[in-house]
């Protein structure tokens, strides 16, 4: 469920950051999945060489400095985020939904590589009204200049103070909307960027400040159990000189085309895709670009969604056997 606003929202964007933390003594559940934030390496000076997900949830919690909030931890997985699956999203949602009455907010520790996909999938399927904040790190826990505990502390502050009751991402002090954020840098601490915009807020020394209202909520008919056995949606990345579509060894239910510019597709490829579309395969036109949107196409335009996010949404739409028109209508909200 996309972010919701509350009447507590400060509408005066020019007001300075609060000077002292609110210290609300809230009860926060930390759900751990692994990633670099739980990473550990042999050489403190080499922050790029380590094992992601080396520390379990309890060990991660023991690294935190003393803070006001009451913290509990639940380990969901201990993996590198390239191994994240829809099943793990379902496990996270089960915990978020079953424990919403017990906690004031949730923080999910997650590898940064696929954080944009997990944040988006959770956002589409989260049904409760407690803040959920994904945090990660670009340097492992024992590297010089590690950012993990700072991001985790900021995530806890955001989960306990946010007037928004949906899914957010906190990295490098910045608050991001799950619809728009993407990982833009492979190593730098300021690794995330936002499609067609910037961060929506900031956390400084435990004080939360929003600059923008998140996008209004879009009611969507999806449920966490949809994540079991999702239809097969593959990605085709176009390039100059491409001669033919790649062949897949399994049956494909949908294709997301990472097109050139505003979703443009070379004529040879387009005629193959039109044939597939006539055969009932749902085809989504997206862009290779990191900014902008696709609004016009012979296929379903992905509007402002990135390729990996459009793939998740198309798979959910196909799980419900929505028509071409219904899918087009859903994507037009993004
Ligand atoms: C991962 O995504 O699990 C490894 C990389 C990272 O967390 O930054």
Any domain includes 193: yes
Does 220 reside within a domain?
no
List C-alpha distances in Å: 295 to 7, 222, 284: 33, 24, 11
Are 206 and 240 in the same domain? no
Mean pLDDT of 202-221: 88
Whether 224 maps to a domain, the answer reads no
**327 Cα–ligand 1 center, Å:** 32
pLDDT for 269 equals 98
State the CATH number of the domain containing residue 148: 3.40.50.1170
The verdict on the CB of residue 138 being under 6 Å from ligand 1 is yes
Q: Is the CB of 116 under 6 A from ligand 1?
A: no
Q: How many domains does the chain have?
A: 2
**In this structure, are 198 and 247 located in the same domain?**
no
Residue where one domain finishes, among candidates 154, 183, 210: 210
Nearest residue (CA) to ligand 1, atom 7:
111
Task: Examine the domain organization and report whether 58 and 142 are in the same domain.
Answer: yes
Distance 300 CA to ligand 1 centre (A): 32
114 CA closest ligand 1 atom index: 2
Q: Are residues 269 and 309 in the same domain?
A: yes
pLDDT at 78 over 60: yes
CA separation for the pair 310, 306 (Å, rounded): 6
CATH number at residue 291: 3.40.50.40
Q: Encoding tokens for residue 8?
A: 């507590």
Residue 221 lies in a domain: no
Same domain, 96 and 137: yes
Using the mean position of ligand 1's atoms as its centre, give its distance from the Cα of residue 36 in Å: 5
pLDDT tens for each residue of 65-75: 888 889 999 99
Does residue 52 sit in the same domain as residue 143?
yes
Name the phi and psi angles at 105, rounded to 5: -175, 170
C-beta separation of 283 from 258 below 8 A: no
**163, 178, 210 - which closes a domain:** 210
Residue 328's SS3 state is helix
* Residues 205 and 268 placed together within one structural domain of the fold: no
Ligand 1 near 112 CB (within 6 A): yes
Q: Which atom of ligand 1 is the closest one to the Cα of 81?
A: 3
- Per the structure, the complete domain to which residue 200 belongs is given by 8-210
Pick the last residue of a domain from 153, 175, 210: 210
45 Cα: distance to centroid of ligand 1 (angstroms): 18
Which of the residues are catalytic? 36
- State if residue 136 touches ligand 1 by the CB under 6 angstroms criterion: yes
Shortest-distance atom of ligand 1 to CA 39 = 7
pLDDT tens figures, 152-161: 999 999 999 9
Decide whether any atom of ligand 1 lies within 6 Å of the 253 Cβ.
no
Same domain as 59, residue 160 = yes
Residue 113 has pLDDT above 50, yes or no: yes
Tokens read off for 289:
């670009």
Name the band, by pLDDT with cuts 50, 70 and 90, for residue 9: very low
The answer, yes or no, to whether any atom of ligand 1 lies below 6 A from the CB of 113, is yes
pLDDT at site 17: 58
- Cα–ligand 1 centroid distance for 85 (angstroms): 14
Q: Are residues 93 and 179 in the same domain?
A: yes
Rounded (to 5) percent helix, strand, coil in the chain: 25, 20, 50
| 217 in any annotated domain | no
Is 195 in the same domain as 240?
A: no
Range 46-60 average pLDDT: 91
Other C-beta atoms closer than 10 Å to the C-beta of 109 total: 30
Same domain for 126 and 275, yes or no, is no
* CA nearest ligand 1 atom 1, residue: 111
Confirm whether 136 is domain-assigned.
Answer: yes
- Cα of 303 vs centre of ligand 1, distance in Å, is 28
Confidence class of residue 215 from pLDDT cuts 50, 70 and 90? confident
Is residue 126 assigned to a domain? yes
Ligand 1 site, residue 35, Cβ cutoff 6 A: yes
- The reply to whether ligand 1 has any atom less than 6 angstroms from the CB of 81 is yes
**Atom from ligand 1 closest to the CA of residue 79:** 3
Tell me which of 265 and 49 has the higher pLDDT: 265
Same domain, 84 and 136: yes
Residue 306 lies in a domain: yes
- Per the DSSP assignment, residues forming a β-bridge with 203 are 208
């Amino acid at each position: 469920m996309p972010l919701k606003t509350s009447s507590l929202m400060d509408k005066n964007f020019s007001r300075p950051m609060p000077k002292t933390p609110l210290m609300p003594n809230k009860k926060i559940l930390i759900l751990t999945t692994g990633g670099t934030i739980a990473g550990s390496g042999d050489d403190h000076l080499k922050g790029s060489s380590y094992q992601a997900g080396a520390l379990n949830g309890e060990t991660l919690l023991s690294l935190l400095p003393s803070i006001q909030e009451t913290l509990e931890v639940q380990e969901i997985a201990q993996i590198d985020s390239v191994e994240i699956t829809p099943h793990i999203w379902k496990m996270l949602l089960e915990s978020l939904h079953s424990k919403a009455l017990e906690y004031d907010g949730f923080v999910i520790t997650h590898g940064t590589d696929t954080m944009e996909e997990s944040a988006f999938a959770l956002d589409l399927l989260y049904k409760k009204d407690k803040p959920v904040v994904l945090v990660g790190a670009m340097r492992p826990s024992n590297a010089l200049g590690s950012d993990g505990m700072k991001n985790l502390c900021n995530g806890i502050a955001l989960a306990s103070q946010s007037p928004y009751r949906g899914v957010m991402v906190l990295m490098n002090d910045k608050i991001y909307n799950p619809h728009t954020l993407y990982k833009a840098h492979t190593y730098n601490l300021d690794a995330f960027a936002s499609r067609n915009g910037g961060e929506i807020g900031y956390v400084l020394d435990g004080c939360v400040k929003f600059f923008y209202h998140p996008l209004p909520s879009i009611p969507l008919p999806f449920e966490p159990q949809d994540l079991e056995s999702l239809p097969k949606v593959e990605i085709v990345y176009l390039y100059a000189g491409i001669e033919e579509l790649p062949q897949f060894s399994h049956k494909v239910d949908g294709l997301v085309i990472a097109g050139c510019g505003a979703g443009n597709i070379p004529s040879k490829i387009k005629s193959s895709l039109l044939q597939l579309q006539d055969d009932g395969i749902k085809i989504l036109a997206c862009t290779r670009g990191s900014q902008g949107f696709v609004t016009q196409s012979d296929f379903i335009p992905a509007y402002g969604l990135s390729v990996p996010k459009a793939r998740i949404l198309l798979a959910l739409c196909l799980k419900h056997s929505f028509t071409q028109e219904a899918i087009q209508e859903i994507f037009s909200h993004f």
